[in-house]
Structure 1
């Protein structure tokens, strides 16, 4: 009875196996398979009754393109699996360092390709076989695949599209499928960023890129409190896709392992930046538009002093920047404060605490930590005095002596105050010198960008009591520049509008009430003239004209 029942089961399943054999035979005769010989074609067919020791075929995942194989083999029922693993997309070959790509396992034309084994971060595309992890809306770098019998190369083939990671826009249909990417360095009407899946008989290798050089993130700890910011400087290793999940509404979520080198700025280190390695898992999500990084989890920062358990979120939110101060550090009332919202170039003032770099005689621009608007109509005012006590009165140069209103107390704003030092102001005039000669004149047109204090020094002055205070402030301004004629001395009437950057030296001597701008050195011009001066080794210096 058992033998008869087993024979009946085989009789019921035999027609399905025969239909598959007939369909594949017709496909082979039509030239749609790349299998070389007949025995390999038969060996790759699924068994009517699968033995226990035979490895199970990989189930396919839904793809972004419509398959022609569904029309040719409508009776093949290919299940849809929402989650795709990063391993097992191909079958191992009997030869070392080779894999077999079978498009029929993806519910497509049953073409079989034997190719060199891809690396873990690479996804093969050849002929009608497109790796199911290759999805529209994600960014990829594409490298040509080597032939199976090609000799080993000392240098790997170059990436397409000048090595740029481009967003895949569409995957075409048919036996030769056009893969179109975003039109970078092209136009919408003439997009040259495309190729066909069979453009190279050897195929292509796709490498996903979730995080790029120049991307900026905010660092959060386990309590979701911002701890600092970072910027990606270099890719240490290739990014590896480790998981893919397709939702019922068509959204695609990917997990990509990253290993980068970043510039990290911790809030608690007073804006100091360090170049350290950063690893983690980037979570990408794609809806109707292109994919974007939602966050980076399991982040580890550093090598020797390894910090784990952080999370990165895209973008730099200055409103989340936190600064901790302690009055005991400046030999004042030992009160500790935590301020949120200051920029890294702003000096903190809160409660009884006043940053020691805030010195009377220098000019500052004042902003509450919880607002984007500056006090005193955004003007830069000269600081006259800093009072004493718990609530210190901070007084600036008044507009009128009879009714002085340019002041506030250190505890007037519970969230704190940020004071930005200012060295160069609009309408200031400078003479430009270089190599001992006059090169021209400049008038400051705009000075909107932040001016960052680099260093404060106390210098002894011979014959005077006390020390002079010198501040070095990085400035970026826009000037109207008049260049001198070839003979020197006279100034040309033509005016050039250009950006000027440099380091301003502001000095306050003992006994003086107001600091004075001495010069602006290490000057760089946003003009072709900068190349001329650099070639002639001419160091430009701006001297203020009273």
Structure 2
């Protein structure tokens, strides 16, 4: 009895020295004492069968099976090799075989409550749902959007990064119905120009290799409103690019609806109300979509657990202007230290409320005025030039009058408790421009036909004036999107109606009451001519034609 206790204590002492040494983050060898190593392997151990083994072999009865002893010895040796240190201090670990992806996937339709048919197809990814013959994955439900990718044959090597190309031009379409019978017909939504002759369908047995369905709840171009933990709107978000597949993590079904939760990762143009600047930002979250009974499409209700620059938010679909908030402070302009928070301001509008008049509101430039509590603009929606801004607690904003004898185009900054939104305007209907290349060659003329789209100010700065040395002019850069009649010199008198967008450079010289358009640069047009200019590395500019 005493000898047995001594053996146990000696074994425990040796093992403790080994364990304590292995926990040290030093470059010393594992066994500081060579005697401890010899003692460790000299001591017998008892296996699960009751026998004592040393180095994988039985040492005393009762006997055990050789296979059990060999497995135990191999496990003991591998454990020792994992922690044994070489002379230079590095740790050797045995090479472990990584789990390889299976070469095939067995589908049993009886598991889905269908015919007891079995198929062997190529393996699918974690975000894909297999469909082959009568086997249809239970997660493939009409009303949701899927991207369908044909599967290769078993054992076939596909060099493409994501496998074979997707059907329907790589688009994710809404699944409308799944037919019945041995061969199931999958019908997807039709294209806009082919509502009466829908070609977006196929049968599940058209391809013996099968198909892989990829769920897509959020698509490029979708817009959301950002909310914080207090359910207060903080900004807007527009999806620019999808980063990776959308993996379904859970789903539930009831008698009236089907709900799916999908993990998403994307690049979005995020604009916070406080900054007013939209920047492409990585965004992750979990999208929740619900398909109600007797409704053709599933609807994304929210995106939860959203991470934007290390902060947690939630998203609701759509952008409502009443959520857009702007906080202004009069002390920032050296005025009365008042503070106002305006809700519902458009992205292109400049705030004016109470005693606060934004510094970007400058006499000599043109504006459209809208009370913040309504959609109708003042002055019949016309664009008027601002003549002056009064002084005092409530500033009087005087615009260009219709009659010099009875001027009535004016208002005070505190006339509307909810504030005013002033939209700067640079290009108007009827303006004419000369289309000029970067080397000064004139290509033709353009006349503005419509200028209904909003024009947003991008920047404002003071630049030295060439006509008045020592003084500074005010220069604004305003983004414009207009419709123009374009007549090119190489096409004689033929006119083309084009959508033109660009950045208009407006300037107001010192000691002058009027602003003027210097040029419109960074031109974009919905015409093949843009491709020709880009191919020739030629930039075009619209220069105003002054009518004398």
Q: TM-score range by the shorter chain?
A: 0.7 to 0.9
Confirm whether residue 222 of structure 1 aligns to residue 218 of structure 2.
no
Greater shift in the superposed pair: 325-334 or 429-438: 429-438
The answer on 1:442 being equivalent to 2:446 is yes
Change in Cα spacing, 1:538 to 1:163, as seen in structure 2 (3 Å) is closer
Of 103, 108, 116, the match for 1:110: 116
1:332-351 matches, cutoff 5 A: 332-351=335-354
Contact 1:255 1:284 survives alignment (8 Å)? no
Q: 1:497 to 1:118 in 2, by over 3 A?
A: closer
- Equivalent-residue separation in structure 2 for 1:198 and 1:366 (angstroms): 62
CA RMSD of superposed structures (Å)? 2.4
Unaligned runs of 5+ residues in structure 1 are 1-94, 487-491
Question: Are the structure 2 counterparts of residues 152 and 440 from structure 1 closer, same or farther at C-alpha, using a change threshold of 3 Å?
Answer: closer
Tell me how many residue pairs correspond in the alignment.
443
Local SS of the residue matching 1:268: coil
The yes-or-no answer on 1:166 pairing with 2:173 is: yes
Counterparts of 1:170 and 1:465, CA distance in 2: 74
Aligned counterpart, 2:26:
none
Distance 1:426 1:448 in 2: 9
Q: Residue 522 of structure 1 contacts residue 541 of structure 1 at CA under 8 Å; is this kept in 2?
A: no
Task: Tell which deviates more after alignment, 234-243 or 293-302.
Answer: 293-302
Q: Please say if 1:511 is aligned against 2:511.
A: yes
Cα distance in 1 for residues equivalent to 2:356 and 2:197: 61
Report the Cα distance in structure 2 between the residues aligned to 1:153 and 1:460, rounded to whole angstroms: 60
Give the corresponding residue for 1:59. Answer: none
How far apart in 2 are the matches of 1:122 and 1:483? 52
1:408 deviation in Å? 1.0
Higher RCO (CA < 8 A, seq sep 6+): 1
State how 1:117-516 maps to structure 2 within 5 Å. Answer: 117-151=123-157, 155=161, 156-184=163-191, 187-249=194-256, 251-302=257-308, 305-308=309-312, 310-434=313-437, 435-461=439-465, 464=469, 466-484=471-489, 492-516=492-516
Does structure 2 conserve the Cα–Cα contact (< 8 Å) formed by 1:443 and 1:481?
yes
Deviations 1:129-185 (A, max 9, x none): 111111111111122234444457564222222221121122122222222222237
> Is 1:545 matched with 2:511?
no
Whether contact under 8 Å (1:465, 1:510) holds in the other structure is no
Moved more, 381-390 or 438-447: 438-447
Where does the alignment leave 5 or more consecutive residues of structure 2 unmatched?
1-100
Deviation at 1:404, TM superposition (A): 1.5
Task: Encode CA deviations 1:462-509: one digit per residue, 9 max, x unaligned.
Answer: 6545311111112222223333368xxxxx544433232222222111
Alpha-carbon distance in structure 2 between the residues aligned to 1:438 and 1:187: 43
Structure 1 or 2, whichever has the larger Rg, is: 2
> CA 1:358–1:117 in structure 2 vs 1: closer, same or farther (change >3 Å)?
same
Distance 1:445 1:239, change over 3 A: same
**TM-score normalized by the length of structure 1:** 0.75
Structure 1 residues 395 and 185 mapped into 2: Cα distance closer, same or farther (>3 Å)? closer
**In 2: Cα distance, 1:398 partner to 1:275 partner:** 46
Once residues 150 and 520 of structure 1 are traced to their aligned partners in structure 2, the CA distance between those partners, rounded to angstroms, is 56
The offset of 1:189, in angstroms, is 4.4
Q: 1:105 to 1:541 in 2, by over 3 A?
A: closer
Judge conservation of contact 1:518–1:544 (CA < 8 Å) in 2. no
> Relative to structure 1, is the Cα distance of residues 484 and 107 closer, same or farther in structure 2, using a 3 angstrom cutoff?
closer
